[in-house]
Structure 1
Amino acid sequence: MWNCYLLHILCKKALPPMKPKLILLFFVLIPLLGTAQDSLTQRVLKEYSNPLRLNWDKSVKTAIHDATVHRKARTEDAFGKAAYFFPIFDSLFKKANLPTDLSYYALASSGMQFDYFDTLDGARGIWHFNYTQARLFDLKITSYIDERLDPILATHAFIRAIKEYHKIYQNWELALAAFISTAPDLNKAIHYHGDTANYWVVREDLNPNASTIIARTFAVALVHRDLPGYGLKPKTFNAPKSAVRIYISEWYSMELLATKSKVPSQTLAFLNPSYKRHIIPDLKDSFLLYLPAALKDSIDWVKRIRFSPYDAEYYDEDDGQVHGKVTIDTLEHTVKDGETLQSIATIYLVKVEEIQEWNTLDGEEVIANQKLIILKEVKPPAPKPKPAPTYRIHTVRSGDTLSGIAAKYRCSVNDIKKWNNLRSTVIRPGQRLKINK
């Protein structure tokens, strides 16, 4: 109370009328706002249940304030992108038996920016891969391509990395610390603190960048549980819901691709951020390319772009799954006397307009011996019917024994044990046993 009174007297002498009251109000309200945010965080923390062992200390408290006040616009932008990408990440994490809250590391480390570059350690991309970690976990980095910038490929690499580090350190905080600051640095800090496995003890001796990012990870994990409470409104993020995924092994520029596929260059850039020069290089390797289209449209995309031969896959960005596969092959047709584009199109069950586009023809006139390119879908062979089972099923009843069942079906007890991988002769009512015919 005396502090407020002295502040009021000082302000009254130094400033015009009314201003002291405003400043006094400012100094009173700011602590109250901080207290309200702390109360909200404490409530959220109590309700939080996850393998990530959150510890609400000064660093996390500072990170929460930073995300919700100083970097509010950036945080709202990041959460807008997270609404698009988190379902994809969560699907991949669940399949790998990883906690889905690891997705918050991407939001905290890069702000969900594909082209993110950390000047402190040279890390790039949505998952903050430095050069060493990227090469260690099989991400290509050349003068033309940087797969750290591809959110899907980088997510798979992050999963491999974090699983590897979790095997070593047995907790997710230390696994993240090893990923950011490298395992040797982390091992030194752990050894210095008596071989403890508590991240909150060793973090003071880690790379400052690592402790900052991990604090942000925990901060955004808490904030996300009550965005309105923290005064945040995620920005709308519009992006294609699905894509055709194809592999290319020949030179192609994104500008030419945009013209031929009739896809806006901004959309191509969004779907293919790993191509640094907006060029697919002509190298021995096959390169992954995404185009926005559903499976029913993928044939048209492939024919229009004219690669040969290669596979096109319908890739759903919502669940990170390939839902279908189409193989396109190139045929060469030699025009015979009397043939027209219409008759040729009828032979191959394609459209005249498609033949014109594949061969850059302005009209419908063709001449004998002219070579025409025809792109055709290669139908996969029909699946072979499953052979009829060579065994019958016996459902064990009360009182059944293996010897009795063996006698019934004219086989030996050892046969039944072998067919059903049984280690003993103990069986239970309701158990289903295979009996070879």
Structure 2
Amino acid sequence: MKIFINTAFLLLFSFGFSQTNQENLNIQKNENTKEFYSDSALLFFKSPDSLVLQVHTDAILIDSLWMNELIKSPLYDTAQYVLGDDEMLVTDLEELSTDLLKERLKYLNSKTPFNIDYNPQLEQIIRTYLQKRKSSLSTIMERARYFFPMFEEHLAKYNIPMELKYLAVVESALNPNARSRMGATGLWQFMYQTGKFYDLEVSSYIDERSDPYRATEAACMYLESLYKMYGDWSMALAAYNSGPGNVSKAIRRAGGSTNYWNIRPYLPRETAAYVPAFYATLYIFEFANEHNLKAKENAMSYYATDTVQVKRQLTFAQINETLNVDIEVLKFLNPQYKLDIIPYVKDKNYSLTLPLKDIGNFVSNEQLIYAYAAVEDAAREKPLPALIAENNRITHKVKKGEYLGKIAAKHGVAESNLKKWNNLKSTKLQVGQKLVIYPKNTNPVVASKVTPANDNKGEHSFYIVKLGDSLWSIAKKFTNVSVQNIKEWNNIWSVKSLKPGIKLKIFN
């Protein structure tokens, strides 16, 4: 369905954008900005602060009309999850009686291909979720508003029950960057080897197990193959969690039975609780309204986004500085890029997902954004890390007395990269913990250091940051001042530091 929507959307856009179509560019190199473009005006682009973005008002109007149509359509249904103002303080949960639960489970059993029968353990799991994890369910349902339409699109393609969208809730709480202690990663928690089997790329820059679209496609293929193997969705779910090998052993220990509840005592402990947890999650989402469970109102809709294929390497910071798209939004929409960098590799299709309102600005100003990035990259003293394939990685087992900085120094990598590669929230390590490390490139290309146009001496003025400002837009307000100047004068090295009310020093 989204393919149809995107096609119609792009057809509408073709009337609003006056730029030359760049989709057929065959770029061989990206070191020199001139090699990207034939437009002579761009050859005078020498510094980031000379960038002036185009605004196509007709296209913006089309965006607005298109979003209005989406909001009115069933595809943009917010009734089930969105929390109304009058419901914000409704937190009491009425007791769920056994008789009522039996009635509801019987209803679910009649409308789904799963064997959802009442049992006391399932009742206990449902009550535990409702009573002890209710506060987190609103956040999960907020994410569901974005991810579920994507899941349903793929599930329908493979003729898989729609209820299996709830499997990702059990697997990752709908966190695309989730990583288990065993190394399973992403919304659908793929292990490395399983991900490679389904062509999910893993490198120093990218982990497609965290790519919502690619990983969902792979999960559907895997679930389809498991169902063909067992002919039963409960068995397929057990195999998805523990692997077909463990399920086969449980079948043998159960005397050859292929009924999930018969083999359940012989499954690994985690898997034995896995299918009931799925049924509990299915119940909670299907009867969310009855339990006053709603998503937050600021949830982003899947249909309010679109993608574009990039034609040169871009960092999230560069996208933020040119389009003023919040870094956290970029991370949420593009979780597969581990270092907040979208690489460019010949014959690879790396895409950028943006809010619908920003896609038009990107397409209208694509050449200028690439030129801006080229100039900023040339001014960077430290080069961006080289793309390293997954097969070049090594595994380090933490020994007693080791800490993150020591391990990073030993292997010649940055501590911050070590944290990103292993999804570490802090620097605390445990003895025996395994860390994934991508060895430092032996032949890095070092960009030459560029001396800033102005130093931090002499007369200066102050600028107070306003809502909606970016480093680029601020630099444009002053003569002979670049983004790099503002960063150095004010010790700003992260766009997160730029907040309304902050006073910036600007030297004359």
The question of a shared fold, defined as TM-score above 0.5 by the shorter chain, is answered with yes
- Provide the residue aligned with 2:343 in structure 1: 281
> Contact 2:323/2:361 (CA < 8 Å) preserved in 1?
no
Match of 2:159 among 97, 101, 126: 97
- Provide the residue aligned with 1:50 in structure 2: 112
> Contact 1:252/1:281 (CA < 8 Å) preserved in 2?
yes
Equivalent AA in structure 2 for residue 172 of structure 1? W
Match of 1:107 among 155, 161, 169: 169
- Provide the residue aligned with 1:246 in structure 2: 308
- Provide the residue aligned with 1:140 in structure 2: 201
> Contact 1:68/1:231 (CA < 8 Å) preserved in 2?
no
- Provide the residue aligned with 1:300 in structure 2: 364
Query: Cα deviations across residues 367-423 of structure 1 (Å, max 9, x unaligned)?
Result: xxxxxxxxxxxxxxxxxxxxxxxxxxxxxxxxxxxxxxxxxxxxxxxxxxxxxxxxx
Q: How far does residue 69 in structure 1 lie from its aligned partner after superposition?
A: 0.9
Match of 1:170 among 201, 219, 231: 231
- Provide the residue aligned with 2:248 in structure 1: 187
The 5 A counterparts of 1:2-401 are: 36-48=96-108, 49-119=111-181, 121-239=182-300, 241-248=303-310, 250-284=312-346, 285-293=348-356, 299-306=363-370
CA distance in 1, matches of 2:127, 2:286: 15
Equivalent AA in structure 1 for residue 125 of structure 2? A
Shift in alpha-carbon separation, 1:297–1:257, aligned structure 2, 3 A: closer
CA distance in 1, matches of 2:367, 2:356: 13
Equivalent AA in structure 2 for residue 293 of structure 1? L
> Contact 2:145/2:299 (CA < 8 Å) preserved in 1?
no
Query: Cα deviations across residues 213-247 of structure 1 (Å, max 9, x unaligned)?
Result: 32211101112222243353333342254333223
SS at match of 2:290: coil
SS at match of 1:123: coil
SS at match of 2:307: strand
TM-score, with structure 2 as normaliser: 0.51
Q: How far does residue 181 in structure 1 lie from its aligned partner after superposition?
A: 0.6
> Contact 1:81/1:237 (CA < 8 Å) preserved in 2?
no
Q: How far does residue 271 in structure 1 lie from its aligned partner after superposition?
A: 0.8
Query: Cα deviations across residues 299-325 of structure 1 (Å, max 9, x unaligned)?
Result: 315344338xxxxxxxxxxxxxxxxxx
Equivalent AA in structure 2 for residue 292 of structure 1? P
SS at match of 1:244: strand
Shift in alpha-carbon separation, 1:129–1:236, aligned structure 2, 3 A: farther
CA distance in 2, matches of 1:41, 1:79: 22
CA distance in 1, matches of 2:275, 2:306: 35
Q: How far does residue 273 in structure 1 lie from its aligned partner after superposition?
A: 0.6
Q: How far does residue 46 in structure 1 lie from its aligned partner after superposition?
A: 1.7
CA distance in 2, matches of 1:227, 1:244: 29
Q: How far does residue 97 in structure 1 lie from its aligned partner after superposition?
A: 0.9
- Provide the residue aligned with 1:8 in structure 2: none
Query: Cα deviations across residues 315-361 of structure 1 (Å, max 9, x unaligned)?
Result: xxxxxxxxxxxxxxxxxxxxxxxxxxxxxxxxxxxxxxxxxx9xx9x
Q: How far does residue 81 in structure 1 lie from its aligned partner after superposition?
A: 2.0
Shift in alpha-carbon separation, 1:304–1:217, aligned structure 2, 3 A: farther
Q: How far does residue 249 in structure 1 lie from its aligned partner after superposition?
A: 5.6
The 5 A counterparts of 1:421-436 are: none
TM-score, with structure 1 as normaliser: 0.58
> Contact 1:68/1:232 (CA < 8 Å) preserved in 2?
no
Equivalent AA in structure 1 for residue 261 of structure 2? W
Q: How far does residue 272 in structure 1 lie from its aligned partner after superposition?
A: 0.3
Unpaired stretches in structure 2, ≥5 consecutive residues: 1-93, 372-472, 480-508
CA distance in 2, matches of 1:234, 1:37: 25
Shift in alpha-carbon separation, 1:249–1:182, aligned structure 2, 3 A: farther
Provide the identity percentage.
27
CA distance in 2, matches of 1:264, 1:67: 33
- Provide the residue aligned with 1:354 in structure 2: none
Count of residue correspondences: 278
> Contact 2:254/2:266 (CA < 8 Å) preserved in 1?
no
CA distance in 1, matches of 2:365, 2:115: 47
Larger Rg: 1
SS at match of 1:289: strand
> Contact 1:260/1:304 (CA < 8 Å) preserved in 2?
no
Equivalent AA in structure 1 for residue 272 of structure 2? S
User: RMSD of aligned C-alpha atoms?
Assistant: 2.7
> Contact 1:109/1:217 (CA < 8 Å) preserved in 2?
no
Q: How far does residue 288 in structure 1 lie from its aligned partner after superposition?
A: 2.3
SS at match of 2:273: helix
Instruction: Considering Cα pairs closer than 8 Å and 6+ residues apart, tell me whether 1 or 2 has the greater RCO.
Output: 2
Unpaired stretches in structure 1, ≥5 consecutive residues: 1-32, 308-356, 364-437
SS at match of 1:224: helix
CA distance in 2, matches of 1:301, 1:168: 50
Q: How far does residue 182 in structure 1 lie from its aligned partner after superposition?
A: 1.0
